Amino acid sequence: MPFELSVALRYIRSGRLQTVLIFSGVAVGIVVFTFMAALINGLAVSLTNNVIGNIAHVRLEPPPRLPRTLGGEGDVRALVAVQRGNEPRAEINGWRNFVRMVEEMPGVTASAASVSGSGFIQRGEKILPVSVTGYEPGKESAMIDLSAGIVRGTAALGPGDVLIGVIIAEQLGVTTGQRLRVRSDRGRERALLIKGIFDVRSASVNERLAFTDLATAQSLFDVAGAVSRIEIKLADIFSAPAVAERLAGMTGLQAVDWIRENARLQDALSAQGNTGDLVKFFSVLLIIIAVASQLLLSAVRRRGEIGIMRSMGVSRASVTWIFLCQGLFIGLFGSLLGAGLGYGFANFLARVTLRPDGTQGLPIDPALGEYGLAIGIATVASTLAAILPARVASRTDPVEVMTQ
């Protein structure tokens, strides 16, 4: 071992109370760093999952149909005003080919063709507006995990079956096995059997959505053989814009990604991340100040020893390395200690805030504490913090020691 390292270790070991204090300081800084990372990242994941858990990451829709204009020749420009709702319903024909194309794409974890539209659910005198979506058989839970949210009945849909949310069921006073009348905005009407009631912990879904099988939805919305969209889930949710762009190019359909549709979520996550970064920055700054002041004190206190080392032929560079090594050791071992404590603390909080239903009271995720990053930053920062004390120490004049 180079002697600079062994002297640095000896100085750290001999410091006792000071060493305990500085290691504690670094460790506390890293606990704050990793705790903030686990909390902010956990919150981001939780928020993102809450938002995108019930939506497709990418949606393929038919391109908007614009009426042909009787424009003039040459430079004549035509301005067209299209009143929404009056344009003909856009459909995707030959959708099975598109689904096959989507499923072959790397990163796609699930896809489902669907028909959706607005309508009303009627039970006796009570009528509620709903959005009805019909999926291919077996794909009811591909986008929204309905099977996990089923509180009564089953999520498996057959022809003429419907799944409704708990709020609709409460408002209409119905339960599974009973029938409802569903009327679409196309004026078609069907009596559907309530196969299951779900609660996906989202009021907007529980009170507004109803699910049927694809064939039922096709007959309700008068789109025989076609679908109105293809919904896609991805392994990496943040690859959605790139996947959407690629799919749009491949299919000629309009591809919409969740990020574009949830810009405010991104802004919120970004603001939250910046706040966390600020806290982390200050925790690292405190580590730098603590290490620098501790080593500066040591450099002054050990002037005599440094002077005698210099008189024994220890170079200025070696003295500098002795202090840099101390900074490195303090940063490395202090941050290792802090990372361990931070992980334990995050785990403890995650456990004590766990609700009986398995959901998290505090959205902290101990696995997202950025421990490696924290240890790396603290070690580098602590070593850099030792530069000033190292320079002070290396400038010690051995003549002063001789004459003391």
Where do contacts with other proteins occur on this chain (CB under 8 A)? 3, 6-7, 10-11, 13-14, 304-305, 307-316, 318, 398-399, 401-404
**Cα–Cα dist 402/404, whole Å:** 6
Closest distance of CB 382 from other proteins, Å: 21
Closest distance of CB 6 from other proteins, Å: 8
The per-type count for the chain, helices as H runs and strands as E runs, is 15, 10
Closest distance of CB 386 from other proteins, Å: 18
Residue number with CB closer to other proteins (14 or 83): 14
Residue number with CB closer to other proteins (260 or 301): 301
**Side chain identity at residue 280, one-letter code:** K
Please compute, for residue 50, the number of CA atoms within 13 A of its CA located in the half-sphere on the CB side: 15
Q: At what angle do helices 3-14 and 316-352 cross, to 10 degrees?
A: 50
- DSSP category for residue 253: S
Among 272, 283, 227, CA closest to 26: 283
Residue number with CB closer to other proteins (204 or 315): 315
Place of tokens 């001789």: 402
Which two tokens mark 322?
């002795």
Q: From the CB of residue 52, how many other CB atoms can be counted at a distance below 10 Å?
A: 19
Residue number with CB closer to other proteins (9 or 237): 9
Closest distance of CB 385 from other proteins, Å: 22
Which two tokens mark 190?
């069907």
Task: Round the CA-based radius of gyration of the chain to a whole number and report it.
Answer: 32
Residue number with CB closer to other proteins (34 or 396): 396
Closest distance of CB 335 from other proteins, Å: 24
**Side chain identity at residue 166, one-letter code:** V
Residue number with CB closer to other proteins (19 or 218): 19
Which two tokens mark 206?
């529980």
Residue number with CB closer to other proteins (206 or 298): 298
Q: From the CB of residue 325, how many other CB atoms can be counted at a distance below 10 Å?
A: 22
Residue number with CB closer to other proteins (217 or 309): 309
Closest distance of CB 298 from other proteins, Å: 11
Closest distance of CB 302 from other proteins, Å: 9
Are 183 and 119 in contact by the 8 Å Cβ rule? The answer is yes
What DSSP string runs through 217-231?
HHHHTT-TT-BSEEE
Closest distance of CB 320 from other proteins, Å: 13
Residue number with CB closer to other proteins (13 or 188): 13
Which two tokens mark 268?
């919120």
Q: What are the Cα distances from residue 350, in Å, to 25, 30, 274, 361, 366?
A: 24, 18, 23, 8, 8
Closest distance of CB 326 from other proteins, Å: 13
